[in-house]
């Protein structure tokens, strides 16, 4: 029945700044736009496998039940280097208790993003229990 996450929705005061972060800095591709009365008020950012970030112009909310968004990557070192080249603060990579590489950044709207690069030992692949040290 349930297949995968279809999209997450974020609100932004600045559509262009958010667009630049996700497309130019992170290298993602824009999907379709939302338009009303000849004005763009939102768009989809493609994450792959029919999964998207939906962005609408509006007031960003407080952190609620969703603490962060995690995105799988295949070259975490290159991603960190690229994001830092834009003067954006991103954490050094660490290996998590799930045996996956991870790093963290915050988008222009205050949304925390965790990037994951799986290893052959990653619990996401092996189903092994995560034991925090």
* Residue 102 to residue 71: CA distance in whole angstroms: 10
- Which single residue is written with the structure tokens 């990579």? 93
| CB within 8 Å of 9: residues ≥ 6 apart | 53, 54, 55, 56
Contact 59, 13 (CB under 8 A): yes
Per the document, the length of the chain is 133
- Complete domains list, the chain, with CATH: 1-59 (3.10.180.10), 67-133 (3.10.180.10)
Measure Cα distances from 67 to 60, 63, 70, 110, 111 in Å.
Answer: 14, 6, 10, 11, 8
Q: pLDDT of the chain along its 133 residues, tens only?
A: 567 788 898 889 999 999 999 999 999 999 989 988 888 999 999 998 889 998 989 887 765 567 788 899 999 999 999 999 999 999 999 998 888 999 999 999 888 899 989 999 998 888 877 777 6
Q: Which of 110, 40, 115, 18 is nearest to 71 (CA)?
A: 115
* Residue 86 to residue 53: CA distance in whole angstroms: 21
pLDDT at 25: 95
């Amino acid at each position: 029945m349930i297949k995968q996450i279809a999209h997450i929705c974020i609100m932004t005061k600045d559509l262009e700044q958010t667009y630049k972060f996700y497309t130019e800095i992170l290298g993602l591709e824009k999907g379709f736009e939302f338009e009303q009365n000849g004005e763009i008020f939102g768009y989809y950012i493609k994450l792959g496998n029919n999964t998207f970030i939906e962005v609408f112009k509006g007031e960003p909310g407080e952190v609620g039940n969703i603490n962060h968004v995690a995105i799988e990557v295949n070259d975490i070192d290159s991603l960190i280097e690229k994001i830092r080249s834009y003067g954006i603060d991103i954490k050094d990579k660490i290996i998590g208790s799930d045996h996956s590489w991870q790093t963290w950044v915050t988008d222009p709207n205050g949304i925390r993003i965790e990037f994951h690069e799986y290893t052959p030992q990653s619990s996401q692949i092996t189903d092994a229990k995560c034991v925090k040290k």
